[in-house]
Structure 1
Amino acid sequence: MTPSTPPTDNWTSPLPPDAPLGGAIIDEQGREIPITEDMVQRACSELEQDAPAAD
């Protein structure tokens, strides 16, 4: 039996902040708007700012 060879790491560079992540929202005119990393980060930041302080 031969020892198994560890898999090679196939790292890719991170996606740019405006790259679509696979989801979308529908605007008022019925157009599909791809959800991007930047949109997710902005939403998280807004939620953190609006969250009440922890005791």
Structure 2
Amino acid sequence: MHSQQQNLQKPQSMPIGGFVIDAQGREIPITEDMIQQACNALEKAQAKAAQPE
């Protein structure tokens, strides 16, 4: 039963079809985790900007 649970877990940092070029010219695959982190950062920045001073 435990092995079935392991098979259901998705692999971490699986590339989703794009690349970022780093400062050394290397291609870094864009992962779902990277996109989720960017979206979370954007949501936090947007919420902070919407707060009255």
TM-score (norm 2): 0.67
Indicate the percent of aligned positions where both proteins have the same amino acid.
Answer: 55
Separation (CA, whole Å) in 2 of partners of 1:53 and 1:33 = 33
The worse-fitting range, judged by mean Cα deviation, of 44-53 and 34-43 is 44-53
What are structure 2's unaligned runs of at least 5 residues? 1-7
Structure with larger Rg: 1
Poorly superposed stretches of 4+, deviation over 4 Å:
none
CA 1:50–1:22: 2 relative to 1, 3 Å = same
